[in-house]
Structure 1
Amino acid sequence: MSHRAFLSAGAVALSILAFPVASHADDPALTQAVHAPTRSPKLVDRDGARHPVAELSFFGITPSSTVVEIWPGGGYWTQILAPYLHDHGTYDLALGQPDGTPIEREFGLSPKLKAMLDGAPAVYDHVHLTAFGLHHPAPAPAGSADFVLTFRNLHNWMSEGDAQTLLRGIHHALKPHGILGIEDHRGNTRAPQDPKAADGYVRQDYAIRMIEKAGFRLVGTSEINANPRDTANWPKGVWTLPPSLALGDKDRAKYQAIGEADNFVLKFEKVGR
């Protein structure tokens, strides 16, 4: 039986917070951005697992929002958010810096990301680059962002032991009642949480407590990216599964059939100043 069948009563209760998700027709600008010709075909192939229209609609972003994305990695969301916010919104990419921890440096401005931004100036010319990490915990000026989004990064912050510092920096950057949208790999509720999240998985209940401790209030959960085939127990952690496939050709078909990890999607509101 899947680990999802063993969700705690508290986690089940949280499901009632799930918000209705807008359809494609509700925001044609978002649908247009998802179909932007500048998107990488390799990243477009992941839309079936990542559900970009549904997820961004769940968070409530509009074309005029001020959005900060934390550590964009390969630019999956950048390729959607940049054209979506180009004309009327503000879009900051908060990057790790050379003076940071090893994981922060990994999420800096990579040659690949730089080439992507430089290669389509008509799309990316309004993207602002900012710093985010232990030495730069506020990714934007105080009270300036409508939304801060981070996708599959909480486990990285836990691995360095600085999650609370970074979450409080995000809180500082958000406007009153601003929204933190967060996605990460959902851990097994039957297993204790490793505080360092070495396998890349974070229990949803653990994540909620951690984020609320930093001054946020949970206002919605979504099963957009749920995958009951993921047991959260693999030889190389979450990186055993696509897209990493850390075992190479070993059991490749098996892991491809499982698909990308089971991911929680959570929406928090900033509480206080």
Structure 2
Amino acid sequence: MKTIPTYRPMRRAFIALAALSVPLLLASCATPASPSLDAAIAAPYRGDKAQARDVYRHPKETLEFFGLAPTQSVLEIAPGSGWYTDILGPYLRDRGTLYEAQYVPPQAALSDGEIKGNASFELKLATTPAVYGTVIVGTLRSGQFSGLPQGLQVDRVLTFRNIHNWIEDGQIDANFRAFYTVLKPGGVLGVEEHRATPGTSLQQMIDTGYVTEAYVIEHAKSAGFRLAGSSEINSNPHDTKDYAHGVWSLPPTYRGGAVDRERLAAIGESDRMTLRFVKP
């Protein structure tokens, strides 16, 4: 009688291979990891209006200059509607941590528009955790943080186009000291700000929104920071800095309305300093 061979060893091998494939399949179906910086910047949820500003704000080059990494803890100051948050949140979602501190002027209550804007910003973060992860939002007032973890220490403090407001409110020194305290030793304070012509008076800075680099550097150093680098990433040689409504004449604000709008649009956004400070 002819013996029919059996294939049980092959069947066992198939079962073992199938069992091995299960975790691989599950892994492939898991939630995607945080996007790369390029992918976060290009993500469709940012919207065309926000991404149209990339040509002026150079988010990739700016964040790389500040030494951003996906495993860091980052505190963004005065995020506004969240133009940079929409990049930082997804980028840090899985391996890092993002904190936000909304700025509250010390001498006056927020306007209804500011209150609604802050609430809208917080709602966006809270209702889309798949995009932003868990973002902790607090406040900064009179150089003091509230709503953030006690004794918080972060790798990066970042702020974009806010310093002129703190000068007007008399809060620049208190805020710089707060940033110094919350940063780890070796941590970086990244600053982007509208840049005034050297020699511009303090009152002109307040009136126009343009601040001299020397003024920012002086006050950062007074808080204990060391200037570690400056960049021309966000410079704009076409910005003449002599407009009726200061920096707010330029896009995207256009405070002058339709007056001279075509010329101002051709100039683009403001000439800006980009500075990297280190806590020794």
- Please tell me the TM-score bracket, short chain as reference: 0.7 to 0.9
Match of 2:43 among 11, 36, 47: 36
Q: How does 1:55-134 map to 2 (within 5 A)?
A: 55-97=62-104, 100-102=106-108, 110-134=118-142
Percent of aligned pairs with the same amino acid? 40
Alpha-carbon distance in 2 for matches of 1:180, 1:107: 25
RMSD (Å), alpha carbons: 2.2
2:261 is matched with which residue: 233, 239, 252?
Answer: 252
Give the alignment partner of residue 176 of structure 2, picking from 163, 167, 177. 167
| Whole-Å separation in 2 of the counterparts to 1:53 and 1:231 | 26
Matched pairs, number: 243
Summarize deviations over 1:15-37 as a string: whole Å, max 9, x none. xxxxxxxxxxxxx8111111122
SS of the counterpart of 2:208? coil
Deviation at 1:178, TM superposition (A): 0.7
Greater RCO between the two (CA within 8 Å, min separation 6)? Answer: 1
Matches within 5 A, 1:1-273: 29-97=36-104, 100-102=106-108, 110-134=118-142, 136-137=144-145, 141-142=150-151, 144-194=153-203, 197-271=206-280
Helix, strand or coil at the partner of 1:72: coil
1:67 match: secondary structure = strand
Structure showing greater radius of gyration is: 2
1:195 to partner: Cα distance: 7.8
Preserved CA contact (<8 Å) 2:143 2:174 = no
Bigger shift: 118-127 or 198-207?
118-127
Superposition deviation, residue 230 in structure 1:
1.0
Specify which structure has the higher proportion of helix.
2
8 Å Cα contact 2:90-2:133 kept in structure 1: no
- CA distance in structure 1 between the partners assigned to 2:253 and 2:68 by the alignment: 29
Scaled by the length of structure 2, the TM-score of the pair is: 0.80
Deviations 1:84-127 (A, max 9, x none): 00000010011135x84448667666243234324523112311
Residues 259 and 194 (structure 1 numbering): CA distance in 2 closer, same or farther, change over 3 Å?
same
Q: Tell me if the contact between 1:193 and 1:203 (Cα under 8 Å) persists in the aligned partners.
A: no
Question: How far is 1:135 from its partner?
Answer: 6.1
Q: CA deviation at 1:142?
A: 4.0
Q: 1:104 to 1:58 in 2, by over 3 A?
A: farther
Gaps of 5+ in 2: 1-34
Contact 1:149 1:180 in 2 (8 A): yes
Identify the range of structure 1 (28-37 vs 104-113) with the bigger mean alpha-carbon deviation: 104-113
Could you tell me whether the CA contact under 8 Å between 1:142 and 1:172 is conserved in 2? no
Measure the CA separation in 2 of the matches of 1:60 and 1:47.
19
Cα deviation for residue 264 of structure 1 reads: 0.3
- Which residues of structure 1 form unaligned runs of 5+? 1-27
Give the aligned residue type for 2:38.
T
CA–CA separation in structure 2 for the residues paired with 1:102 and 1:135:
15
